[in-house]
Amino acid sequence: MTTDKTKVQLLSVLLHLFRVAFFSLFFLWQGLSTAAPQSVEENACVTCHSDIWEREVQGSVHARANILCQDCHGGDPTQLDIEAAKAPATGFVGVPDKKKIAETCGSCHANVEVMNFYGIRTDQLARYKTSGHGKKLFEEGKDQVAVCSDCHGHHHILPISDPNSSVYPTNIPKTCNQCHGNEALMAGFGLPADIFSKYQRSVHGKAVLEKKDVSAANCTSCHGSHGAIPPGVRDIGAACGKCHVNEKKYFLESVHAPVAEGGNFSECIACHGNHEVHPASKLLYRTACIQCHAAGSPAAEVGENLFRVLAQSESELKAAEALVKGASIEGIFVEEEMGALEDAKTNVISMAPVQHSLSADRISGLYEKFSEVAREIKTRVHQKREFLKWRKIALIPIWIFVLLMASALWYKYKQLQSRRKGNPSSE
C-alpha cells in the first residue's frame, strides 16, 4: 500500500513538473514570437516601407527614442508577410483617424511614468480636450479641426526647440495659417481667414517673422497651444499681461479696470487691437478714446492732457539729446551729462507703461523728474560752453606772449648777428 502510494505521489509530482515546464516553454515561445524587435534593422515595417523611413521618420525625435511604426500604427513588425503583419489580431490601424491620433499620442504623452524622464508635460491631451479644436473633435465629431499631427507633423516630428520644427516659435504663425488661412475651411466655422496677414503687419509679427525674435508673441502666446482657444473679454488682460507686466499692473489702477472686470471693456485690445497690434503711439489718445468717449468730453480731455505731457516730454528729451550731442561735437567733455541723460530717458520711457493708469498725477510726477534732470543738463552744458568761451579768450594773452617771445628772440638774434659782423675776431 505504501509503495503504491509513493508511486502515485511521484507520478503526481512528475506530472506537475511536466505541466510547469510545458507552459513555461509555451509562454516563452509566445513571448519571443510577439515581442517587438528593439532594432530598426529587425523591424519588418521599416524593411518594407524603407522609403518612408528614410525620408520622413529616420530623423524624427521618435525614431531617436526608438518609438517605431507599430507604436502608432499597430501591426506585427516581426512578420515579413504582409497579411500576417497586418492581421486583425495585431491591432493594425493603418492611418489613424483624428480621434485615434489624439488618443495614440496621449497614450505616451499623457502617461507620467513614460514621459517623466523626457521632462515633457503630460497634460497636453487634457488641455487639447478643453481647446476649441478638441471640443469640436471630441464633442461635435468635426474632424476638420487640428489634432496633434496637424501642428507637429506625423512622421518627421522634431523637438520644439529645433528651429526646423513646425512648432518652433518663429514657425508657429505659418503652421497655424495652414488651416486658419484657408478661406473655405474657415468659412465652415465662421472664422476669418486673414489673421496671418494682419499678424504679419503687427509689431509682434514683425518681431517674430522678420527679426526672428522668439520671445515676441506668436499665436500660442495669447491663445495657448494644446488648449488653444480665443481669450474671452476678461482673459485678454491676463494674456497680454504675461509679457506686458507693468502695463497690466498700471491698467489695474485705471478707471477702466472695474469696467473690464464687469466684462464691458476688452482691456488691451480696445485701444491696441488684437492680431494687428501696431507699435504703441501716443496718437492712440486721439484715435482710440473717441471710439467710446465723445470728443471734448471730460474723459477724452484726460486723454488729450496725457497726450500733451507725453509729446512735450519726448520733444524735450530730443532737445536734451541734441544739446549733449552738439556739445560733444564742439569738443566739450559731456560724460556726466550723458549719464544724466540716461536718467532723463528712463523717466520718459517709464511713462509708456505708467500711462495705462490714466493718472495725470503719475505722469506729471515723471515729467517733473525728467524735466528737473533735463534742466540740469541744459544748465551744465551752458556753463561748460561759457567756460569754453573764456578759455578761448584766454588764448589771446597766450598768443601775445608767444609773439612777444618770438619778436624778442628775433631781435636778439639780429643783435648777435650784427655784433658778429662788427667784430669778427670775437669768434
Partner 1 sequence: MPSSSEPRSTSRRDFIDWIIKGGLLTTFAGMLFPALAYLWPVTRRGPIHDMVEVGREDEIQVWGSKKVVLGGSAFLVVRTPTEYKAFSAVCTHLGCIVYWDSDKKLIICPCHAGLFDLDGRVVSGPPPRPLVSHLVSIVDGKIFVKP
Chain residues 249-308 in contact with partner 1, contact rule CB under 8 A? 249
Using CB under 8 A as the binding rule, whether residue 352 contacts partner 1 is answered as yes
- What angle is formed at CA 377 by the lines to CA 371 and CA 380, rounded to 5 degrees? 140
Question: Which of these ranges, 28-36, 141-149, 193-201, 330-338, lies near partner 1 under the rule CB under 8 A?
Answer: 330-338
Helix 335-354 to helix 360-422 angle (10° resolution) is 170
Choice between 232 and 339, CB closer to partner 1: 339
Choice between 166 and 218, CB closer to partner 1: 218
Q: Which residues, other chains included, contact 197 with Cβ-Cβ below 8 Å and sequence gap of 6+?
A: none
Choice between 26 and 410, CB closer to partner 1: 410
Contact at 8 Å (CB) between 384 and 327?
yes
Choice between 166 and 313, CB closer to partner 1: 313
Q: b/e per residue, 306-332, with b = 16+ CB within 10 A?
A: bbebbeebeebbeebbebbeebeeeeb
Chain residues 215-244 in contact with partner 1, contact rule CB under 8 A? 215, 243-244
- Amino acid (1-letter code) at residue 359: S
DSSP 59: T
Using CB under 8 A as the binding rule, whether residue 346 contacts partner 1 is answered as yes
Using CB under 8 A as the binding rule, whether residue 350 contacts partner 1 is answered as yes
Chain residues 367-426 in contact with partner 1, contact rule CB under 8 A? 401, 404-405, 408-409, 411-412, 415
- SS3 category, 364: helix
Question: Which of these ranges, 134-142, 169-177, 230-238, 336-344, lies near partner 1 under the rule CB under 8 A?
Answer: 336-344
Report residue 203 as a C-alpha cell. 509689431
Q: b/e per residue, 399-411, with b = 16+ CB within 10 A?
A: eeeeeeeeeeeee
Contact at 8 Å (CB) between 276 and 201?
yes
Chain residues 197-216 in contact with partner 1, contact rule CB under 8 A? 213, 215
How many residues bind partner 1 (CB under 8 A)? The answer is 30
CB of 405 to partner 1, least distance (A): 4
Tell me which residues touch partner 1 (CB under 8 A): 213, 215, 243-246, 249, 334-340, 342-343, 345-346, 349-350, 352-353, 401, 404-405, 408-409, 411-412, 415
